[in-house]
Chain A
């Protein structure tokens, strides 16, 4: 009886908070329109169209922040509204759906889907598992797999769910410390490197789409990695140090028995086909200066080859491609052109003037100020929308603000790298997914260690960025 009452209470509370959230999302555009249209300052005053657009954005931000609907819904609704209210021509509002970025992400998603379909992961899993009696091998296997998948699977959540089966087999019901350590390693290996490889995160593609053509050309796959190399190195050192320190604590636990060996997984011709396609992809990336073809069409061609050779069925295409994320990306890629059309990018850039004195007194200080801003914004807003808002403000800022010499790509890279970081599990899809998986699998786990280590990794990210400044100086990006 009490239990029923308790659950009834919970449902009631949930319904009330949902209602309040929706009332908030419904009223915020009116409030923000009223506030925006009445700005008197010469610098910040807005016309009707601009205020209307921003007020609709405010509603979308509330829906994103309170997770009222899937991410792509507010984005797409916004596009429909601006089209129907004739704020922006349809061709601009929906430009994301015809942009190269859309096809690039689609192509990479299809290739990643092929990989997920293949026997490669079970194969690697069995290899790692058969050799994985010691904690060291297990940890290295998880880190190695996390980094490798970051190269080819552009979605942190997708990577994490691909590695989770392996992790699950490494965990035991009595080894709480080891569980915590391996789960943490898993969560961070899947997310930490997602911004140093162009193909590691869909937001990287969004960032690319927000830049000028000339900057896009410089930061295709290899150029991106080159500029992110020091960051990558520091992050790798960070996760290894974390693992070795953690394993010292965990090794005091009872060592678990060697698990029974299991049958090796055999690779089929389809799996080799997937490997060959990936081989082609990296060959195309590495020889770009020779063939000079845009990466997007090469990747699309490879993705189509999958179907020409019956590598994937329609059913798995429907399952494996993250369509909501793809639509979300297409909706947000149009933000740049929309802001341009409404002449809002200058206005947004002016919002960031408080960063000017920081940047003028030193690039490190400027980056720290930006980092603090990102940290605060990320407490309230999920990763992708937070990145979008910050990048739409700071990229025009880097382009137009006199006295600021930071490359627009770099400011975007800093935003995407830091906004991928998280402290609490609600801030990111991967930790919240892994925590709920562990919970449902009834695997014991230490939450306090989880929070402390997240903070550690956030600082590792910041350190990695600060440590890259000399490289960026030599590359003339700052």
Chain B
């Protein structure tokens, strides 16, 4: 009898545990999983802004919060710009996604689209393996340039393969079978055709294109305040990945026409863009632009280098390197000497470069379109809001998972952060409309930044899907 009672007691206990397990199983099977993949790491203000936007979107959907599981994956590619690391991180993210099988992957910034998004993109039936391979192969040179590859293979003159970047081409190596997550892209500066997204019907997102209208309006405002005659605008960048996609985009037929119309309506002309290979080219471009009274528009400048070939100067510059191993004494850099084998390549400090550029633009202040431009010593910058990228991307992911009746469209960046350096404005005697300084004084999380809405008129020729 006692034995029966004890057995019954344990049966009841087992029942309780069983029911708890059942409830957990039911709850979990109801949940939707979202993987957020960042190209960079959370030591960058841009990434923090995106994460804040993601949090905002989730906050808007508090009712669904128990139905969502989120994991965030930082690829940390900014701190390790080399091909081996890209490849390792691509593989790591691939494994993580494969093991967890999220329902949606939200991918931020261009590098992760190539290294992660592509591997999970199902090309539609009319696009066979050849198309897939072609897309992957076309991504290679772009990846290598952006990676500043210190890869040994590249140093030996060998070219890197798809395998080196963990790009999966065949169905077998994709190993995904029927697994087809919704992919949401954000922070894309160029086109999405690069990543093969145009061949798929499960990829949506938001672009990070610079809004020309907003930028040109700001240039016009500056021009009026300076009483300047300048009409020519020149984009000056280094040769890094994002700078290149800007160039690609503007060479893209339809897009270019619509942009040109806007330029025309503002009374401005765009002259040829410059992607400076080194500091010598940068310096020449800045001086030239100043002489011709051109307005400089600067996005990417962090990867500029200079080759010094004179032994005495190499010693001098080596001794003058900062703790972050870059050069600040830009005024001491001599004229470009013919390249010999004994040249040493030095990195240029980003802040020194922008301070130098601002100082040597005597007629018209360069305008930045980069988050760090003002903290690096520039006068004014107009940047796409990371918060919007995060918020909109996450909204799209939630819509795709919970509101399947709604069709999702790709969208464009509409919100901007304005950065101002008040003292440089005063130095140049510029008085902007009250709205600019008031925003810049309304400090956000970063020096001289605040977020504002800039409603641009839709560019109606955008056909990207």
* A and B physically associate: yes
Which residues of A does B touch, CB under 8 Å?
A: 41-43, 212-215, 217-218, 289, 291-293, 305, 308-309, 399-405, 407, 475-478
Number of A-B contacts (CB under 8 A): 64
Q: How far is the CA of A82 from the CA of B336 in the complex (A)?
A: 54
A478 — nearest CB in chain B belongs to which residue? B88
For A399, the chain B residues whose CB sits under 8 A away are 41, 76, 79
A-B pairs with lowest CB-CB distance, top 7: A43-B323, A476-B91, A476-B88, A214-B73, A405-B84, A405-B85, A42-B323
- Given A212-B74, A477-B88, A217–B79 Cβ distance below 8 Å? no
Q: How many B residues touch the partner, as a band?
A: 20 to 34
Q: Is the interface of A mostly helix, strand, loop or mixed?
A: loop
Shortest CB-to-CB span from A67 to chain B, Å, is 37
Q: Find out whether the CB atom of B96 lies under 8 angstroms from the CB atom of A214.
A: yes
Q: How far is the CA of A293 from the CA of B20 in the complex (A)?
A: 14
Q: How far is the CA of A399 from the CA of B77 in the complex (A)?
A: 10
Q: Find out whether the CB atom of B82 lies under 8 angstroms from the CB atom of A218.
A: no
Shortest CB-to-CB span from B254 to chain A, Å, is 39
Q: Find out whether the CB atom of B80 lies under 8 angstroms from the CB atom of A308.
A: no
- Given A43-B323, A213-B71, A476-B88, A218–B80 Cβ distance below 8 Å? no
A398 — nearest CB in chain B belongs to which residue? B80
Q: How far is the CA of A271 from the CA of B82 in the complex (A)?
A: 54
Q: How far is the CA of A42 from the CA of B326 in the complex (A)?
A: 14
Q: How far is the CA of A119 from the CA of B401 in the complex (A)?
A: 52
Question: Which residues of B in the span 173-190 have a Cβ within 8 Å of any Cβ on A?
Answer: none
Q: Mark B16-38, 1 if CB is under 8 A from A, else 0.
A: 11000000100010000000000
For B76, the chain A residues whose CB sits under 8 A away are 399
For B84, the chain A residues whose CB sits under 8 A away are 405
Q: Find out whether the CB atom of A403 lies under 8 angstroms from the CB atom of B150.
A: yes
6 additional A-B residue pairs with CB within 8 Å, beyond A42-B323, A218-B96, A400-B79: A218-B92, A289-B99, A292-B100, A403-B150, A475-B91, A477-B88
Say whether B437 faces chain A, with CB atoms less than 8 Å apart.
no
Q: Which of B28, B81, B87 contacts A293 (CB 8 A)?
A: B28
For A308, the chain B residues whose CB sits under 8 A away are 13, 16-17
- Given A293-B28, A476-B87, A403–B100 Cβ distance below 8 Å? no
Q: Find out whether the CB atom of A214 lies under 8 angstroms from the CB atom of B323.
A: no
Shortest CB-to-CB span from B290 to chain A, Å, is 32
Shortest CB-to-CB span from B132 to chain A, Å, is 22
Q: Find out whether the CB atom of A214 lies under 8 angstroms from the CB atom of B74.
A: yes
Report 27 cross-chain contacts, Cβ distance below 8 Å, ordered by A residue.
Answer: A41-B323, A42-B323, A212-B74, A213-B72, A214-B74, A214-B92, A214-B93, A217-B99, A217-B100, A218-B92, A218-B99, A289-B99, A291-B28, A292-B28, A293-B24, A308-B16, A309-B10, A399-B79, A400-B43, A401-B79, A402-B79, A402-B81, A403-B150, A405-B80, A405-B85, A476-B87, A477-B88
Q: How far is the CA of A289 from the CA of B150 in the complex (A)?
A: 36
For B287, the chain A residues whose CB sits under 8 A away are none
For B28, the chain A residues whose CB sits under 8 A away are 291-293
Say whether B166 faces chain A, with CB atoms less than 8 Å apart.
yes
Say whether B95 faces chain A, with CB atoms less than 8 Å apart.
yes
Q: Find out whether the CB atom of A402 lies under 8 angstroms from the CB atom of B80.
A: yes
Q: How far is the CA of A400 from the CA of B71 in the complex (A)?
A: 22
Q: Find out whether the CB atom of A309 lies under 8 angstroms from the CB atom of B100.
A: no
Shortest CB-to-CB span from B164 to chain A, Å, is 10
Shortest CB-to-CB span from B219 to chain A, Å, is 36
Q: How far is the CA of A405 from the CA of B80 in the complex (A)?
A: 8
For A475, the chain B residues whose CB sits under 8 A away are 91
For A214, the chain B residues whose CB sits under 8 A away are 71-74, 92-93, 96
Q: Find out whether the CB atom of B88 lies under 8 angstroms from the CB atom of A217.
A: no
For B85, the chain A residues whose CB sits under 8 A away are 405
For B72, the chain A residues whose CB sits under 8 A away are 213-214
Q: Which of A217, A305, A403 contacts B96 (CB 8 A)?
A: A217
For A400, the chain B residues whose CB sits under 8 A away are 43, 79
Q: Mark B316-339, 1 if CB is under 8 A from A, else 0.
A: 000000110000000000000000
Q: How far is the CA of A399 from the CA of B75 in the complex (A)?
A: 10
- Given A217-B99, A218-B95, A476-B88, A309–B82 Cβ distance below 8 Å? no
For A218, the chain B residues whose CB sits under 8 A away are 92, 95-96, 99
For B13, B99, B166, B323, the residue with the greatest tally of chain A CB atoms inside 10 Å of its CB is B99
Shortest CB-to-CB span from A23 to chain B, Å, is 37
Q: Find out whether the CB atom of A476 lies under 8 angstroms from the CB atom of B82.
A: no
Q: Find out whether the CB atom of A476 lies under 8 angstroms from the CB atom of B92.
A: yes
B86 — nearest CB in chain A belongs to which residue? A405
